[in-house]
Structure 1
Amino acid sequence: MLVLVEIQSLLPGQEKSISSTQRKCTFAEYTVVPEFTLAKIDAAAPLDKVCLLACGFSTGYGAAINTAKVKPGSTCAVFGLGGVGLSVVMGCKAAGASRIIGVDVNKEKFARAKELGATECISPRDFQKPVQEVLTEMTGYGVDYSFEVIGTADTMTAALASCNMSTGVCVVVGEAPSGSVVPMDPLLFLSGRTCKGTLIGGWKMRDSIPKLVSSYLEKKFNSDLLITHTLPIAKINEGFELLRAGKSIRTVLLY
């Protein structure tokens, strides 16, 4: 039996918090789940490719398409260029955004981001001022849409502050550690900014997964570009090391 596991982009040490139940279920040859959690997909779909659509890709792509409803000709900023962030980039491009600015401290991700649709990329470490000020100067007024795909209080605040003060929309995609508090200046909202969250990109998964798989087969998007490594499950630790080192976007494990 072939079991496919997609290693997600995790915060350092986060993989240690995965429960024993999750581990047993994920790496078993068989498992029992409620019928309503299953979705039937096209038998022609390659499982080692469409496994990304169950969470990472659908979350990022849907954040742009469904949650933000990015408009053609708009300007977007994506904070975090891991697998989910790059999926946001793909969603913004598909929606017709004219300018997509990727933000990440790991410059090795910039080439892949531009390949997927980013028009430019910046690292906060290259500036002496807050990155939200840099983005405001780059655009003249702030971005139309910002996406926080990292999961820290600082980047959530920066993403909101980088938005156009009148009509900007910030979508929080990243998951902050439990108990985190995000301090917000109320004035950021006073003139019209909007901040909203998204869960799995706003899809109703049982209905949407088969449609996303069909779109993949019709080549409406190429999520294969997010897969940088494919390893046997015996090398799962190598997969996590690639992840910690920032050398992988998505690693697919074959069992």
Structure 2
Amino acid sequence: MEKQNRSGTAGKVIRCKAAVCRNPGEPLVIEEIMVDPPKAWEIRIKILCTSLCHSDVTFWKISIGPFALFPRIFGHEAVGVVESVGEHVEEFQEGDMVVPVFRPNCRECRDCKSQKGNGCSIFGDKLVAEMPRDGTSRFKGMNGETLHHFLSVSSFSEYTVVDVVHVVKISSEFPAEKACLLSCGVSTGIGAAWKVADIEEGSTVAIFGLGAVGLAVAEGARLRGASKIIGVDLNQEKFEIGD
């Protein structure tokens, strides 16, 4: 059955604005770009909210090696609404609220079905600069030049295209400014408490560093029933959080 698109943009190139980094370490520039329609097993997302992760800054500084790909659209912590879907996409539809994630989950391989890790044996963890299935970009500058993806997300754009293995559907009632943190920081911290440390009820937990990830670890420890949570940080302002 042919999928309906109420906005009338399905199958068409969308022109929108994005924060483009043209050279390592240089300020990002707001430019008008073109975003291609999604291909098979891909969805195009209208970004509602995005945040800055330290990994964005790390890759922004890299000037040599295979990860130094420019011009590029950074950003991987975000939340958005599905604008259109490509062929063979059944689990998502226009209007769904979704969180794009850089770690793939095909939901089919042995590793993705396992509860012991979050690595995918089919798509791997290659930190690819383009779409994972065909190795091409869905972004172009207004002069036709290719703009590289980042961590399979590229959320510093009003619209982005993401493979279905990099998307999770969430409730539309979730506040966008909070949901965007689920992509990386919060899931990393809570996952560390629940999956890696496997904190037991009544435990005493010490957390070194109270950034976004550290605070998420604290919340994960609280949810697991830790009796005492000790936060260690050099930033004096973080003491207010502890109090």
Of Structure 1 and Structure 2, the greater helix share is in 1
Report the structure number with the largest CA radius of gyration: 2
* Greater RCO (Cα-Cα under 8 Å, separation 6 or more): 1
Question: TM-score normalised by the shorter chain: which range applies?
Answer: 0.3 to 0.5
Of Structure 1 and Structure 2, the greater strand share is in 2
TM-score, normalised via structure 1 length: 0.40
